[in-house]
């Protein structure tokens, strides 16, 4: 038994209260305490990673009640991988200054930072819990926090958030109903316990219905085409920092839930052969990759383009799960990590541009590249990584996905991955060209534009540097963290 897992969650939930309380008095303190909470969680996550690499699975029984009676928290290779991504992106989001990240400094007493910590805490909870119902509770905790945070984007964002709330509740309820079916069939809510008890029940229609409900519910949360309808509005109207967290880590947690059910709660064969879950996810995702990329090309608003690009990029994750072989799964998980860095960097750049110039439509960006070389350099790194140009990180996840497609003899998926790289190149190179080579129109916003302050630049440059570093060390990540996860697949 090891308490590392709960020590990642505890500072997030504790500082959620502290940050909200001191925020009533001084906003600056809310900001500082939130950063401290995230930093503590990040340290605990780092310790957790080093322990998992040495000892393997770490289990913690909440309140000392051993499973299957109590709630347990499990830190294994898959969950520690997700936890590190979540907490790191959360930390970057919290240190990004609010005047750029939230359009304006929130009024005193509005618990923005408390909600950010609650969102990240909920995500961490989903990833580390070993209990089916506890997962539902954390799912709703992070959903509630994100509904509230989206509304900071103004009146349109409230409407978008309300629609997301309705669809998100359907998703959460489907999951709960699925868990109900599993509970009444097996009598347990503990994941490890259920895994054993479900084995003789694989033929039962109740369990098949449960899996269908859970996968559809998580498909809505993952915005898997055609269940993505809520995403473009919610992500483009939300303030940049919130959009960065939502696109980079919040929706990917749903992919984690599907992978968790496929690998450890059920035998992978059940999802691959008994029920055609992976086949359906794969083909739906292939359609989503093309749809998202084409829609992104059609957008003029920078953040809306990024939102459609998210639809395409999470579909890559679905594609990797759909390939149902170790290489495809490694590609999918690596893409979760790479996409988290790339997309949060791009959303923070969108916030920086809006803060420095007030502009948000791509045609108005002409000439900004020369005015803000550092920020636009970081943008270029992230954009190249989205397209998949080596040595940036984005290349390697696509590489594994293509290898997985070849191994599965699924040439349609290989063609989809390559074609969508070209489509991604269309919308990002169009923008890079606009930024650096198109002569600036004589608009006062562009002429007066200058490099943002170091408080805005630091998080952006960190993420851009991270994209290069992840590209260089991807072999280490794959062999030490992802290979043990993928080994569970046949």
CA distances from 374 to 187, 345, 371, 458, 466 (A): 57, 13, 9, 10, 15
Please state the closest distance from residue 358 (CB atom) to another protein, in A.
Answer: 17
Is the alpha carbon torsion for 473, 476, 479, 480 positive or negative?
negative
Binding mask 166-185 for another protein (x = CB under 8 A): x--xx-xx--xx--x--xx-
Going by their DSSP bridges, the two strands 72-75 and 58-61 should be labelled as antiparallel
Q: Which of 26, 104, 108, 156 binds another protein (CB under 8 A)?
A: 156
Does 138 sit near another protein (CB under 8 A)? Answer: no
> Which residues make beta-bridge pairs with 190?
131
Give the nearer residue to another protein in terms of CB position, either 145 or 272: 145
Cβ proximity to another protein, 19 vs 151, nearer residue: 151
CB of 230 to another protein, least distance (A): 12
Largest CA distance in the chain: 72
CB 343 within 8 A of CB 306: yes
Whole-number minimum distance, CB 173 to another protein, in Å?
Answer: 6
Distances (CA, A) of 281 to 89, 141, 205, 270, 465: 27, 26, 20, 14, 33
Is the Cβ of residue 133 or residue 436 nearer to another protein in the bound state? 133
How many residues bind another protein (CB under 8 A)? The answer is 26
Taking the complex as a whole, how short is the minimal distance between the CB of residue 105 and another protein, in angstroms? 20
C-beta of 14 vs 144, nearer to another protein: 144
* The binder of another protein chosen from 158, 280, 457, 488 (CB under 8 A): 158
Instruction: Determine, following the binding rule CB under 8 A, whether residue 161 of this chain makes contact with another protein.
Output: yes
Other C-beta atoms closer than 10 Å to the C-beta of 280 total: 16
Long-range Cβ contact pairs of 133-142 (< 8 A, separation 24 or more) = 133/179, 133/183, 133/189, 134/71, 134/189, 135/175, 135/257, 136/172, 136/175, 136/176, 136/179, 139/172, 139/175, 139/221, 139/257, 140/172, 142/118, 142/250, 142/253
Cis preceding linkage at 275, omega within 30: no
Query: Computed from CA positions of residues 312, 315, 317, 320, in that sequence, does the dihedral angle turn out positive or negative?
Result: negative
Say whether residue 165 binds another protein (CB under 8 A): yes
Residue with tokens 């070993």: 130
Q: Which stretch binds another protein (CB under 8 A): 159-167, 280-288, 353-361, 428-436?
A: 159-167
Contact with another protein (CB under 8 A): which of 148, 275, 297, 389? 148
Query: Any contact of residue 155 with another protein (CB under 8 A)?
Result: yes
Closest to another protein by CB, 147 or 400: 147
Asked if 212 interacts with another protein (CB under 8 A), we say no
Q: End-to-end CA distance of the chain, in Å? A: 29
Task: Report how far apart, in Å, the C-alpha atoms of 69 and of each of 34, 65, 66, 131, 156 are.
Answer: 34, 7, 6, 10, 45
Handedness of CA 364, 366, 370, 373 (dihedral sign): positive
88-96, 107-115, 142-150, 457-465 -> range binding another protein (CB under 8 A):
142-150
Specify the residue, 150 or 336, whose C-beta has the smaller distance to another protein: 150
In the complex, the smallest distance separating the C-beta of residue 108 from another protein, rounded to whole angstroms, is: 20
- Indicate which single residue of 144, 216, 432, 457 sits in contact with another protein (rule: CB under 8 A): 144
Stretch of 103-111, 155-163, 246-254, 335-343 contacting another protein, by CB under 8 A: 155-163
Surface-to-core class of residue 65, CB atoms within 10 Å of its CB (0-12 exposed, 13-18 middle, 19+ buried):
exposed
| Residue 70 binds to another protein (criterion: CB under 8 A) | no
- Interface with another protein, residue 110, by CB under 8 A: no
Least gap, CB of 408 to another protein (angstroms) = 36
- Smallest gap from Cβ 201 to another protein, in A, equals 16
Would you count residue 159 as binding another protein (CB under 8 A)? yes
Residue 162 interacts with another protein (CB under 8 A)?
Answer: yes
Q: Nearer to another protein by C-beta: 25 or 184?
A: 184
Of 152 and 386, the one with the shorter C-beta distance to another protein is 152
368 binds another protein (CB under 8 A): no
Q: ω into residue 226 within 30 of 0, thus cis? A: yes
Closest CA to 343 of 250, 422, 433: 250
Binding region for another protein (CB under 8 A) out of 5-13, 116-124, 152-160, 429-437: 152-160
Q: Which is nearer to another protein, 153 or 466 (CB)?
A: 153
Structure tokens at 122: 């909920």
**How many CA within 13 A on the CB side of residue 55?**
15
By CB under 8 A, residue 133 contacts another protein: yes
**Which positions lie near another protein, rule CB under 8 A?**
133, 136-137, 140, 144, 147-148, 151, 155-156, 158-159, 161-162, 165-166, 169-170, 172-173, 176-177, 180, 183-184, 189
């Amino acid at each position: 038994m090891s308490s590392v897992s709960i020590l990642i969650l505890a500072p997030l939930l504790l500082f959620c209260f502290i940050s909200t309380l001191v925020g009533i008095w001084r906003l600056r303190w809310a900001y500082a305490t939130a950063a401290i909470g995230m930093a503590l969680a990040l340290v605990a996550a780092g310790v957790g990673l080093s322990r998992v690499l040495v000892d393997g699975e770490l289990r913690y029984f909440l309140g000392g009640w051993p499973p299957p009676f109590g709630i347990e928290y499990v830190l294994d290779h898959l969950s520690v991988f997700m936890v590190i991504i979540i907490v790191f992106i959360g930390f970057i989001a919290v240190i990004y200054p609010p005047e750029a990240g939230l359009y304006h400094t929130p009024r005193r007493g509005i618990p923005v930072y408390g909600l950010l910590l609650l969102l990240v805490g909920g995500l961490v909870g989903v990833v580390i819990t070993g209990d089916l119902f506890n997962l539902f509770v954390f799912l709703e905790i992070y959903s509630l926090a994100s509904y509230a945070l989206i509304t900071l984007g103004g009146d349109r964002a409230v409407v978008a958030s309300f629609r997301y709330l309705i669809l998100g509740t359907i998703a959460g309820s489907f999951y709960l109903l699925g868990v109900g079916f599993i509970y009444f069939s097996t009598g347990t809510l503990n994941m490890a316990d259920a895994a054993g008890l479900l084995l003789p029940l694989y033929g039962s229609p109740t369990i098949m219905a449960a899996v269908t409900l859970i996968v559809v519910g998580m498909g809505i949360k993952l915005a898997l085409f055609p269940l993505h309808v809520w995403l473009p509005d919610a992500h483009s109207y939300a303030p940049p920092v919130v959009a960065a967290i939502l696109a980079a880590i919040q929706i990917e947690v749903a992919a984690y839930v599907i992978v968790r059910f496929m690998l450890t709660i059920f035998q992978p064969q059940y999802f691959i052969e008994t029920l055609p879950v992976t086949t359906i996810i794969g083909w739906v995702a292939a359609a989503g990759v093309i749809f998202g990329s084409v829609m992104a090309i059609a957008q003029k608003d920078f953040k809306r383009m990024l939102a459609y690009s998210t639809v395409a990029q999470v579909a890559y994750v679905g594609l990797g799960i759909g390939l149902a072989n170790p290489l495809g799964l490694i590609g999918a998980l690596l893409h979760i990590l790479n996409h988290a860095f790339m997309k949060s960097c791009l959303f923070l750049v969108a916030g920086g541009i809006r803060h420095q110039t007030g502009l948000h439509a791509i045609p108005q960006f002409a000439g900004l590249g020369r005015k803000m070389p550092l920020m636009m350099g970081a943008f270029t790194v992230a954009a190249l990584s989205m397209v998949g140009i080596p040595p940036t990180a984005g290349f390697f996840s696509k590489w594994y996905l293509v290898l997985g497609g070849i191994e599965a003899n699924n040439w349609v998926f290989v063609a989809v991955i390559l074609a969508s790289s070209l489509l991604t190149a269309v919308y990002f190179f169009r923008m890079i060209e606009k930024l650096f080579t198109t002569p600036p129109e004589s608009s006062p916003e562009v002429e007066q534009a200058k490099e943002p302050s170091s408080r805005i630049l630091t998080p952006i440059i960190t993420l851009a540097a991270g994209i290069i570093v992840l590209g260089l060390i991807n072999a280490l990540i794959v062999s030490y963290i992802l290979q043990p996860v993928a080994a569970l697949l046949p």
